[in-house]
Structure 1
Amino acid sequence: MSLPHLLWRNMMHRKTLSLLTVCSVALTVALLVFLILCSQGVEQGAEKGYGPFELTVGAQGSSTQLALNTYYHVGTPTGNIPYEVFAQLEKEEQAEAVYAMTTGDNYNGYPIVGVDAKYFLTRYGDKKLEAGTVYLRTGEAVVGSHIARTLGVKVGDTFRGGHGLLHEGEPAEEEEAGESHEEHEAHAGFLYTVVGILPPLHTPDDRAVFTTVDYAWAVHHSQQGEHKDVTSVLVKPRSLLGAQTLKTKYDKLGNAQAIYTSKAVADVVNVVDKGSQVIRIVTMLCIVLAAISILLSLTSAVNERKKDVGLLRLIGKSRTFVWLSLIGEGLLLTLIGLLLGLAAGHAGSYAGRDALFDFSGIALDVWRLPGEEWLLMLGTLVIGALASLWPAMKIYRVDPLQLFRS
Structure 2
Amino acid sequence: MPRISTRWQIVGALFAMMMFSSGLGFYNQSVLLEALTRERGLTVFAASLAPTIFFAVSGFAGLGVASVIERIDARWSVAAGVAICAASLVLIGRVETVLQVYSAFALFGFGFSATNMLTASTVVTRWFARRRALALSVVFTGLSVGGIAVAPFAAWVIGEYGLRRGSEIVAGVYVLGILPVSLWRLIPRPRGDMDRLGEFEDAEEPGVGAREAFRSRYFLGVAGTFFFGLMAQVGAIAHQFRLVSVHEPAVAGLAVSVLAASSVVGRLASGTLLGRIPYRGFALVLLVFQGFTLVVLGSSTSVAGLLIASSAFGLTIGSFLMMQPLLIAEAFGTRSYARIYSVSTLLASIGVALGPFLLGWAHDLAGGYRNAYVLAAVMSWLGCAALWAAGRDFVRVRPALR
TM-score range, shorter chain: under 0.3
Q: Identify which of structures 1 and 2 has the higher relative contact order when contacts are C-alpha pairs closer than 8 Å and 6+ apart.
A: 1
- Structure with higher strand content: 1
TM-score normalised according to structure 1 size: 0.21
- Structure with higher helix content: 2
- CA radius of gyration, larger in: 1
TM-score normalised according to structure 2 size: 0.21
